[in-house]
Chain A
């Protein structure tokens, strides 16, 4: 069934899970030719799903045009359209899915719905050369420790409430930090944390293999408001506690699975403190430490395109009538026959 396998086959990937609208062209050999993006910036507060979806609709034409232009590929040269089918915010996902369906039927090429979490793992593997890692996937919406076992990416541990990225974002807003374009809240917290010296005690919550960040968030905000430490100290302590939790759960999965690599992926992968902690446990378990490059860390179209190619090459495509979005699509529900093992 897989048709084109050559170097001049291209996939268009559309990502619109949350605040980012991304479009990318990736060759079937795994070369990222373009990776265009436009992020919705709320005037205040977090992502408003409907407002974000409106943003995506407004910028979609511009972002798509940019993706084709940068890749120097014409729409007619596309042999596959992949889109982020879930998990994510319904209105945002539907905007991307609508664009993907329209393009696929207009160009008369197959459509593949991609699981967003698998996308983050696969692009990390492509960029770092990792083949069979324990993956820590950390972002604004997800916090998952996973490893491949019997046709699927199994979840070894995950957050029981909010994601680590969400925890950092909400904390930053609560203490009145300002977001800059191109520098998410996590980066602002990281900068301040580097200047922190005194550890403020905060709750550390690991339950077996799972994690919880909501209590930590509340306690960190309260610690700042009640002046238990300077803003720098609280940022420092928040990072130390949250990242130690992530590292512990990752280490347990690594000890259990004895995989040869540790892969850090997702938006929060950009954090150097987290990178340095995971590096320690990777070394102790003789595993290679891999981290997704910065430009592919946050949500992007390239990861969707690449995962779409992998799925399509193994015979998977999504008929339009089955291309409805799945806002709660779990990682382990994805059958992944393209992965060796």
Chain B
């Protein structure tokens, strides 16, 4: 088992399972919680995440295949998605490809939102481009179900911030393409409402544009 990512809430391990390269997501016990509560939280999330990953598939958004869910141990075994993180490639592809990918990402986010799925952690490291040209969305650990405008706005605002911090040279054109793709999925009218919401969120103190 090789640890590939340690988060505040869960850790990812690369593992071989029935001759297959897989990702094992483990929610390890927290020492500050009493065991009964700890078990409850870890089990709930272990059930919630595959559920929402499945809902995303129904919405037409590629997500990893879930192979096994061990509720008692709070482990999820899922497909290791072969490909490249969008984070690694976005700055190095042709400008045409960059816009195509951004628009595709926007369309996928639109499909999620249209089906009431808020990803909760839309950064380019949570999107993987497969050799077949699909963009697979991973890590639904912070996701929630909602059809409200506010969480949609927050979700896309986070995407914008991720582009600005990691891909600052192309952030503007990329986000524009993301929003174009988004509008294709949800319709012009809804996209306008969400865009206005993002602007409102940006104007709030906590996102004052100094950084």
Contact = CB atoms under 8 A, between A and B. Distances in A.
Nearest to A155: B206
A281 B9 CA distance: 12
A332 interface: yes
A201 B142 contact: no
A311 to B, nearest CB: 17
Contacts of A208: 120, 142, 144
Interface string B12-39: 0000000000000000001111101100
Given A247-B32, A252-B8, A255-B8, A150 B205 contact: no
A277 interface: yes
B166 to A, nearest CB: 15
Contacts of A149: 211
Given A201-B40, A256-B8, A150 B33 contact: no
B2 interface: no
Given A244-B32, A247-B32, A330 B37 contact: no
Contact of A332 (B31, B41, B205, B211): B205
19 contacts: A150-B211, A152-B205, A204-B37, A204-B41, A208-B142, A240-B33, A240-B34, A241-B37, A247-B32, A248-B8, A248-B30, A251-B8, A252-B8, A254-B8, A255-B8, A256-B8, A277-B33, A280-B32, A332-B206
B133 interface: no
Nearest to B209: A150
Interface residues of B, number: 22
A109 to B, nearest CB: 29
Interface of A: 149-152, 154-155, 199, 201, 204, 207-208, 240-241, 244, 247-248, 251-252, 254-256, 276-278, 280-281, 284, 330, 332-333
The 7 A-B pairs at the shortest CB distance, nearest first, are namely A332-B205, A255-B8, A333-B205, A277-B32, A280-B32, A332-B206, A199-B36
Contacts of A207: 144
Contacts of B205: 152, 330, 332-333
B210 interface: yes
B208 interface: yes
Contacts of B41: 204, 244
Given A255-B7, A255-B8, A333-B205, A199 B32 contact: no
